[in-house]
Amino acid sequence: MAEAGPITIAGAGIAGLTAALSLARKGFSVSIFDQATTLSEVGAGLQLSPNATRVLETLGLRPALESVWQLPETVDLADGKSLRRLATVPAGRFARERWGSPYAVFHRGDLQRILLEAVSNEPRCNVTLSQRIDSGGPPAGHGLQIGADGVWSKTRNHLQGAGKSRFSGNIAWRMTLRQADLPSFFDISRVTAFLGGGAHMVAYPLSGGRFNIVAISKGAALGENWNSEVPDRGELQRAFAGWHPELTALLRHAPEITRWPLHEVTDGAWHNGGETVLIGDAAHAMMPFAAQGAAMAIEDAFELAHFLANGADRAAALQAFEEHRRRRIARVRSRGAFNRFAYHAAGPLKLGRDIVLSLRKPQSLAGDFDWLYGYRALD
């Protein structure tokens, strides 16, 4: 086992809380610090594929998750102008049978609440709110600091050679609506991605008869601000001009839309040899085109605990962790870049994409995801 001792985690989001549970399970004592006075995630749905839900089930969270998650039967691609279905990837029971765990959708806040409850009930874990760690290293008496403090990580700022946050040029427009207020073609049994030139929209059910909708298009940066209200919808309406009338009407009349500039983190160091390591968005924030940001944070957290528990020493454990995870992250980023190209295609490229998709059977498409959804994080 790598050198033991109390571990400090900066950030009590999904990455930090999952890391705390994973480390406690391996026998480590963990202190989590977050600058927020209360932990809440507003207005954001979440897709978690089987590679991530498998980790959460291993951590004993399935009974709690079953009360909040929805398990869609399929993940569909559709044309944003005609609504014509282009392709279908089976999920539901198929996902459990093929990849060993479910494909789930739910509110991000529900997952954070469940993780926090589990951490609060874990004797080896301690959570402190309204306190931020700015030193870039563990407090006195602690052996390691984990930076799980997101894309604008303060921990990363103290790590020599670490990557930098940069605006991607894209905006996520988020809204949560009642199912009763949606057009009839929104299907509660499916995740649907509507595709169009330079933009796309994803819709899926949440618990309580709600639907999460996120529309992604090009847009301007607004600084370090994830979640701002949209007083003027002109930018949004221009991005989706020419789409199906019922979709554009939805964007005009939705009672509340928030604007989330999408940032990513450039390649750089994830650790400094023994005192500090980054996980999740702090290390490698990526675009959401593969719907894997939260899943990669969960995998990072779980596998970091594995390497720390099994490494010869802390420095060697962190180096092995980074080398192992970089290969995985690079492949996921590549898939996201491919999806971005395909989802936002226009003109002849769109026509070619549609022809190719029309020739693929659902189970054949599912096979493309075996490397991603079937991945079993090291325990």
Closest-CA residue to 21 (of 112, 118, 142): 118
SS (H, E, C) 133-194: CCCCCCCCCCCEEEECCCCCCHHHHCCCCCCCEEEEEEEEEEEEEEHHHCCCCCCCCEEEEE
For the question of residue 204 being annotated catalytic, the response is yes
Task: Report d(CA 12, CA 14) in Å as an integer.
Answer: 7
SS (H, E, C) 192-239: EEEEECCEEEEEEEECCCEEEEEEEEECCCCCCCCCEECCCCHHHHHH
Written as one letter, the residue type at 366 is A
Q: What are phi and psi of 216, to 5 degrees?
A: -120, 130
Distances in Å between the Cα of 270 and the Cα atoms of 41, 61, 150, 275, 373 are 26, 28, 13, 11, 24
How far is residue 95 CA from its own chain's centroid? 19
- Residue 73, SS3? coil
Task: Report d(CA 97, CA 100) in Å as an integer.
Answer: 6
Residues 94, 343, 196: CA angle, nearest 5 degrees? 120
Marked catalytic residue, from 103, 204, 373, 375: 204
Q: Are 176 and 207 in contact (CB under 8 A)?
A: no
Residues carrying an active site annotation: 204
